[in-house]
Structure 1
Amino acid sequence: MDRSVKLWVLACLSFIFFGCESLYRAENGLDQQDYQRVTQNFGSDWQFQRLKDSAAAEAAWERVFIPHTVKIEPLVVNDQWQGISLYRKDFEVQKPAAEKWFFQFEGVMQEARVKINDSLVKVHKGGYLPFTVDATDHLINNAVNQIEVEVRNVDNSVIPPGKPLKDLDFNYYGGIYRDVFLVKTHPLHITNAVHAEKVNSGGILIHFDEVAKAGAKGFVKTHVQNDSEEKGKISLVTEFRSPGGRTYSFISDPVSIKPGEDKSIEQKVNIEEPELWSPDTPHLYQIRVQVLEDENVIDSRQVTTGIRKIELTAEGFYLNGEKLFLNGTNRHQEYPYVGYAISNEANYRDAYKIKDAGFNFVRLSHYPQDPAFLQACDELGLLVMNAIPGWQYYEEGEFVENALQDIKDMARRDRNHPSVVFWENSLNESAMTEEFMIRANQVLKEELPYPDTFSAGWIDHPSYDLFIPARQHSQPPAYWNEYDKPNRPILIAEYGDWEYYAQNAGFNQKAFEDLQEEERTSRQLRGYGEKRLLQQALNFQEAANSNLKGAQTIGMANWLMFDYNRGYADNLEASGIADIFRIPKISYYFYQSQKEPAGDPFSEAMVFIANYWQPDSAKKITVFSNAQEVALYLNNKLIEKKLPERDQFSSELAHPPFYFEVPEFEPGQLRAVGYIDGQEVASHSIFTPGEPAKIELSVDLSGKPISRRSPDVVFVYAKVLDKDGNPVPSATPQVRFTVRTANQNTVLVGENPVQAEAGIASILLRTKEFEGPVVIEAEAEGLQKNTITLN
């Protein structure tokens, strides 16, 4: 059997086991192990302490697991802990003499100094992008070794975003807050893309130059490093597996690599009749690259990507040849209490909620976010604008060099994600120099020198492919609708908040002329009540409708998805369409109503009554729906069946709201029924609430069960109901949560007891290697308590 046939047989056999091997490992809680390559989650059994100063500890060493935040903060963070903390972990080393050991950190906020056995081996500046430590030469074989990470989360003007926390519009929480992995490889191995520091190379780079329904042509570029003392002669076998199970194998010519040498090996690939990636069909391909020496696999890595064609013109954004308007939101990665230290599953649940709200696009504000979030966007079908860290700060010197390095690292980390379509290599709302903007775009285009690499900047400079102003960066009433630079597309990167808060506050709020100024803003907590939540929804509706008038506007992103904390403020920034606990506000359902009803789980026909139906509720009933007609019933009596009415606030919307006049308040049931082509497709009922009587418990999983393998955080909600099971949105009792489990790694995090807001009390459940049963109990004075069991 000649060599080419051997390689072909090996490729076929590899694919037979491709899916089975992954399934076996997942079901048995094993880490990924690709032949000589072993990747282990290194998050368990760390020792941690905060320092009062550079030497004195606050307390004794504490046993923790990663992801970890340096301090559990209150719900409203107005005195966030900043300082220096230490993480240590002992681990045994038993390895072949030539085996390579790497520690890969996904995110440490914001300066990390890593020691192996008391030797300083790495200093990394920047809290939002990964770094790798090559520990090989610092290990003591057949012994217990120690890794120590000193984490400095203090104001540092040279580390983007650079601005002191007390002046910043968001918080950066200290700690090793993303995953850490131990990676063991053969000395001749595939590199890590960020660690390799190679322009347009490093790791595995996949790009498709031609994409059509008949076929997709591109390449896979694999960077290998020979850290052995012997010359190597290798070949690469690259295998594609489609979502439908079709397989393609590509074999490289033999390549010789000298000791200490590295090479990029490019393989042309051609995929017939590709299953194209899009928000409606987020098809992902599994790609495995194997390194062969003498027909033996010495290293192997697996990645996922999607095949899609993106184009940006003055007429719009095109995906797979079809024009697509980008309807999106902004997201901060913060959770209450634990800050940034959230799980991969929690990141997925955020993406799920964004998709469920009706969006097809998300802007990462204002920094690169967890790889798990991008993977979720790949899987769920969300287009992404990636962003380097920056907000209202610019400084020449090391700050600039670090910002440019952020562009390189972001591109190298995220280039294979089909969801990422724009690269915001711009310091948000910062006074960037022309020289910086030109350099920033040169850096990006050197890393990704392809026609479909699109940069985005908040300043209208020709070096950027896409201009991304906020709505408030222009003036009413037209805002950006009269923007008319030839062949220049724009995307409204923020809208719906600031223009109603400080600039021309109350503009076009004729439906609410009698409101106080604080009631005109979009910054409305759920507990502020029906009237003010309706105001927020109207603000977003009016602004979205206005944005749609712009001829050159290819998309928009509202400000924002979830409420969050800010360094400079002593209250929550509450313009989210869901609160910080991810509970939807009325605005959430306005956006849901703008989806076309297609019948899939994220595009169902819907109807929502934006009212509490209490004695002080509005008698003009707003109903959000994507149906053609809606009928409203009060206690089973038809009020009216009607079509939506377009006005100055809804002239451009796909699905304007429905408004019904109810002559007088009558307690009981309001029921809305949506119709398409005369057929009932959706309904929603609300009931006048009675007195608070009992508690209903739920856990927010949003498409992702609690992880059994790694740490996770989930929200637990205690909803106050009346005796008939109807929500009581005015209820604000103190609710105490209790968790009962034999597993000591399952705990509640947050204020406890906690006062319910708008009828719901919320707390976090944090788990590690989750095992059921876990019983959670909630009780409040005068209410029937309740329990929920998690298995």
Structure 2
Amino acid sequence: MPCKTLLNNHWLFLEGHAISPSSSDLSQAQQVDLPHNAVDIPLNYFDETRLHRDFSYYYTLECSEADLSQFMLLHFAGALSNAKVYVNGQLVAEHTDGYTPFDALLTPQLKLGTNLISVLLSGVENPAIPPFGGAIDYLCFPGIYRDVTLHHHDAARIKNLKVQSQNVLAQPLINVDAYLQQFAPISGPIELVFDLYDPAAKLLASQHVRLEQWADSASCQFNLAEGAQLWDCDNPHLYQVQVSLSAQDCLDSCQSRFGLREAEFRTEGFFLNNQRVEIIGVNRHQSYPYVGYAMGKRAQQLDAELIKNEQGFNLVRTSHYPQSPDFLDRCDELGLLVFEEIAGWQHIGDEAWQQKSLDNVRAMIQRDWNHPSIILWGVRINESPDNHEFYAKTNRLARQLDPTRQTGGVRCIQDSEFLEDVYTMNDFVLGDGSKNLRSPQNVTGLAKPVPYLVTEYAGHMFPTKRTDCESWQIEHVMRHLKVLDASHANPNISGAITWCLFDYNTHRDFGSGDKVCYHGINDAFRMPKFAASVYASQQPASKHVVLKPVTYWTRGERPEAKPLPLVILTNCQRVEIFMPTGECKSFFPDRAMFPNLPNPPVVIDEWNLGDFPLGDWGYAWNDLRIRGYIGEQMVEELWLAASTLPSRLLVEAQTQTLLAKQGDVSRVTIQALDQNGLLLPYFKDVLSLETSANLQVLGPKVLSIDGGVAALWVRAYEEGEAFLKIHSQTFAEQQLMFQITSETTEQLEVNHG
């Protein structure tokens, strides 16, 4: 019976390359579970050349006669990079790209009993392999950093499904292609059943296709006469297609989700189901502190939830490489749009290098062509120079593989040759004169408008740490507001994608000298800076009320000890400020400064303050009460204390129920709060962590609270109760309890029969 099994546990790991290591070498190997990072690095000030080495992973696979009667393969969701897979010393698969999946057919080399699987890979930045060959402003973390699954098949399988829809706004037609792979000759006819399920998992239609002889693919078409449910950002309805195969002594099945939606970039903006959507996007790297890329399903899902639900973005760009299928699956479920691109950064290599990049285009699209969240394929190396022959090939291949989606190619140069469907531009003009964004036609140099999207801004133009002073934070906030407003102002601009979501580790050539780029609106632990509320505040208040003053409310924090300007990021219609002395005054969003934003900030300065006693030098420094209103209803209230005191340590986990032996993690945040429940921005403390044996802290077990905050991830192992204890110098001990549950058949064994 065909099945797949998660194979993430009980691997052995060694530095260096050895196809068939000796028993003594294996006895010295480290036992690891996947996902795994070959080299854990400190948070900053590290030697990145530690990553540039070779590594080997080993798995002992026991095979029975029943196993050998089937065809067994390993599926690697992601291994970086230049991976070679051996079975009992014989090479069975090679895959150079570190960001797309590959299969290794094991069966020809398997034997009864014990088999050694060796996976050799490299962190060496090989100039023959994209994205390497030039300077790169991010780190590529070696390791088997995504899931590995073991598949048992009969003589054939359904390798992939491709679902494409037409005419979705009227009478949808759904075309399904099933791509087949044969491991051994099959005699007689092949029966295929195509089943279509609606978003409520109700069977809508079923079709049978009979192949009298072997073929590499089979197709069918469904016609939805009525009641089609469209996929969009607010209602991400997901259909499912399942295809079952049966032949002589051969069974298999495969399923995929998809959405009915029409997505198109036009000269007048981006349209989803023929409705214009202003893109408010963010760039995401997939790295995490200490463990690099090696984070499993839940961490990927929670990043998507933060982007969409907490911070209010409607699009994410996977800069600068394909990212986890678990992340993309969650984008589908949330209604979060995706711009996915191939791996690379500025550099284009020789003809062989370019062929590997074309292979990457193919692998990315074939892996992800059913995700309704993906609306644009990035088929140009980020910020690279023009190369007509190369980019004509990448665009042609993308259109052949998926004619339903447009292509883009991110550049940072003006008058670039336009081969794609959407002119995608990194625009960092803000800070260089009075402009906030360039005019699209000045950038393109073309005689007529074309679809246009700003793919990066801010970022390195004004790097900001979460602990930077208040004046710097205000400027950081204002820069994001200005570009966002400029994007909304021009109907030819489909939207703008800010650089970037999180601070990230980088090479010595970039960053702030400590090997970190502080370009994020959140720090590397996903803790927000003030600028994150720029985007959260653009959501309707009906989804999430935002009332975020860009201030620590301390006299003497700013030059000349002045409290103005007081910027309040909010989606409220008006704000009232109350003083303890009884004075009260209303302030309104600044539509004069930001006329195009859905929700401009409230900006209080000397021009609208009047004689309201906000606390200039020489006056008493008082508590501040701020209320936000929608109409006449108060929807949010904040108290800013004039004299803050450490009152409690707030410890929260994203989840306290974890899955055993699956690399499952939970992020834990630790915040020092004042008497009003607000963060103490300068609070420092040293924390020591203690866990039960079945729970591991990712990173050091002694850490500091910096800027009032600390954060960490814990990873689950054996089932049962688990605890995390936090010992503070200032506060009482805190303890979090977790329940680690055992694996289930549904989680680990997926029956394909």
Q: Tell me whether the two structures share a fold, i.e. TM-score over 0.5.
A: yes
Tell me if 1:489 matches 2:455.
no
The alpha carbon displacement at 1:705 in A equals 5.4
Tell me if 1:220 matches 2:176.
yes
| 1:348 paired residue number | 301
SS at match of 1:524: coil
Q: 1:210 to 1:705 in 2, by over 3 A?
A: farther
Q: How many residues align?
A: 703
Say if 1:103 and 1:181, in contact at 8 Å, map to a contact too: yes
Instruction: Identify the match of residue 78 of structure 1 among 31, 46, 54.
Output: 46
Query: Aligned AA for 2:701?
Result: N
Tell me if 1:422 matches 2:376.
yes
Say if 2:453 and 2:495, in contact at 8 Å, map to a contact too: yes
Say if 1:612 and 1:729, in contact at 8 Å, map to a contact too: yes
Q: Distance in 2 between matches of 1:341 and 1:674?
A: 41
Tell me if 1:176 matches 2:144.
yes
| 1:21 paired residue number | none
> Structure 1, residues 680-739: CA drift from partner, whole Å, max 9, x if none?
2333344345343653322234xx953346112332222223567553221112221221
Q: 1:58 to 1:236 in 2, by over 3 A?
A: closer
Instruction: Identify the match of residue 652 of structure 1 among 579, 596, 618.
Output: 596
The alpha carbon displacement at 1:249 in A equals 2.3
| 1:707 paired residue number | 659
Query: Aligned AA for 1:588?
Result: A
Say if 1:345 and 1:706, in contact at 8 Å, map to a contact too: no
Query: Aligned AA for 2:570?
Result: S
Query: Aligned AA for 1:559?
Result: W
Tell me if 1:748 matches 2:697.
yes
The alpha carbon displacement at 1:77 in A equals 5.3
Say if 2:695 and 2:723, in contact at 8 Å, map to a contact too: no
Q: 1:219 to 1:779 in 2, by over 3 A?
A: same
Q: 1:689 to 1:163 in 2, by over 3 A?
A: farther
Q: Distance in 2 between matches of 1:430 and 1:49?
A: 36
The residue correspondences of 1:504-583 to structure 2 (distance < 5 A) are 521=462, 523-568=463-508, 569=510, 570-571=513-514, 572-583=516-527
Say if 1:51 and 1:58, in contact at 8 Å, map to a contact too: no
| 1:736 paired residue number | 688
SS at match of 2:346: coil
Q: Distance in 1 between matches of 2:62 and 2:621?
A: 69
Say if 1:563 and 1:573, in contact at 8 Å, map to a contact too: yes
> Structure 1, residues 435-457: CA drift from partner, whole Å, max 9, x if none?
1111111111121133x433434
Query: Aligned AA for 1:483?
Result: Q
The residue correspondences of 1:627-638 to structure 2 (distance < 5 A) are 627-635=572-580, 637-638=582-583
Say if 1:368 and 1:387, in contact at 8 Å, map to a contact too: yes
Tell me if 1:395 matches 2:349.
yes
Q: Distance in 2 between matches of 1:457 and 1:727?
A: 38
The residue correspondences of 1:582-621 to structure 2 (distance < 5 A) are 582-597=526-541, 599=542, 603-617=543-557, 619-620=563-564, 621=566
Q: 1:229 to 1:779 in 2, by over 3 A?
A: same
Tell me if 1:775 matches 2:728.
no
| 1:762 paired residue number | 711
| 2:748 paired residue number | none
| 1:267 paired residue number | 220
Q: Distance in 1 between matches of 2:683 and 2:646?
A: 7
> Structure 1, residues 428-475: CA drift from partner, whole Å, max 9, x if none?
11124111111111111121133x433434264332011111112797
| 1:411 paired residue number | 365
The residue correspondences of 1:120-139 to structure 2 (distance < 5 A) are 120-139=91-110
SS at match of 1:472: coil
Q: 1:71 to 1:163 in 2, by over 3 A?
A: same
SS at match of 1:706: strand
The alpha carbon displacement at 1:563 in A equals 0.5
Q: 1:476 to 1:493 in 2, by over 3 A?
A: farther
Query: Aligned AA for 1:175?
Result: G
Say if 2:639 and 2:676, in contact at 8 Å, map to a contact too: no
Instruction: Identify the match of residue 256 of structure 1 among 209, 212, 222.
Output: 212
The alpha carbon displacement at 1:397 in A equals 2.0
Which consecutive residues of structure 1, in runs of 5 or more, have no partner in the other structure? 1-35, 192-202, 502-520
SS at match of 1:211: coil
> Structure 1, residues 3-49: CA drift from partner, whole Å, max 9, x if none?
xxxxxxxxxxxxxxxxxxxxxxxxxxxxxxxxx32111111100111
Q: 1:229 to 1:394 in 2, by over 3 A?
A: closer
Q: Distance in 1 between matches of 2:152 and 2:409?
A: 38
Q: 1:274 to 1:682 in 2, by over 3 A?
A: farther
| 1:687 paired residue number | 641
Tell me if 1:639 matches 2:571.
no
Say if 1:609 and 1:685, in contact at 8 Å, map to a contact too: no
SS at match of 1:103: strand
Q: Distance in 2 between matches of 1:334 and 1:590?
A: 23
Q: 1:132 to 1:786 in 2, by over 3 A?
A: same
| 2:422 paired residue number | 466
> Structure 1, residues 562-613: CA drift from partner, whole Å, max 9, x if none?
110111243221121110000011111111111123x3xxx22332222222
Q: Distance in 1 between matches of 2:14 and 2:332?
A: 37
Query: Aligned AA for 1:656?
Result: P
Q: Distance in 1 between matches of 2:486 and 2:440?
A: 11
Tell me if 1:162 matches 2:132.
yes
Percent same amino acid among aligned pairs? 27
With the length of structure 2 as denominator, give the TM-score of the two structures: 0.88
Tell me if 1:243 matches 2:205.
no
The alpha carbon displacement at 1:367 in A equals 0.7
Tell me if 1:445 matches 2:402.
no
Query: Aligned AA for 2:455?
Result: A
Query: Aligned AA for 1:653?
Result: L
The alpha carbon displacement at 1:640 in A equals 1.4
Q: 1:637 to 1:698 in 2, by over 3 A?
A: farther
The alpha carbon displacement at 1:343 in A equals 0.9
The alpha carbon displacement at 1:120 in A equals 1.1
Query: Aligned AA for 2:662?
Result: S
Q: Distance in 2 between matches of 1:457 and 1:697?
A: 41
Q: Distance in 1 between matches of 2:73 and 2:190?
A: 22
Instruction: Identify the match of residue 304 of structure 1 among 242, 257, 261.
Output: 257
Q: Distance in 2 between matches of 1:230 and 1:53?
A: 38
The alpha carbon displacement at 1:637 in A equals 4.1
Say if 2:192 and 2:246, in contact at 8 Å, map to a contact too: yes
Say if 2:410 and 2:455, in contact at 8 Å, map to a contact too: no
| 1:358 paired residue number | 312
Say if 2:78 and 2:144, in contact at 8 Å, map to a contact too: yes
With the length of structure 1 as denominator, give the TM-score of the two structures: 0.84
Q: 1:666 to 1:215 in 2, by over 3 A?
A: farther
> Structure 1, residues 117-168: CA drift from partner, whole Å, max 9, x if none?
1111112101111111111211113x1212110111102111111135xx32
The alpha carbon displacement at 1:263 in A equals 2.1
Q: 1:738 to 1:362 in 2, by over 3 A?
A: same
Q: Distance in 1 between matches of 2:556 and 2:109?
A: 70
Query: Aligned AA for 1:225?
Result: Q
The alpha carbon displacement at 1:747 in A equals 1.0
Q: 1:121 to 1:315 in 2, by over 3 A?
A: same
Say if 2:258 and 2:370, in contact at 8 Å, map to a contact too: yes
SS at match of 1:718: strand
The alpha carbon displacement at 1:97 in A equals 5.0
Instruction: Identify the match of residue 152 of structure 1 among 108, 114, 122.
Output: 122
The residue correspondences of 1:186-197 to structure 2 (distance < 5 A) are 186-191=154-159
Q: 1:542 to 1:457 in 2, by over 3 A?
A: closer
SS at match of 1:163: coil
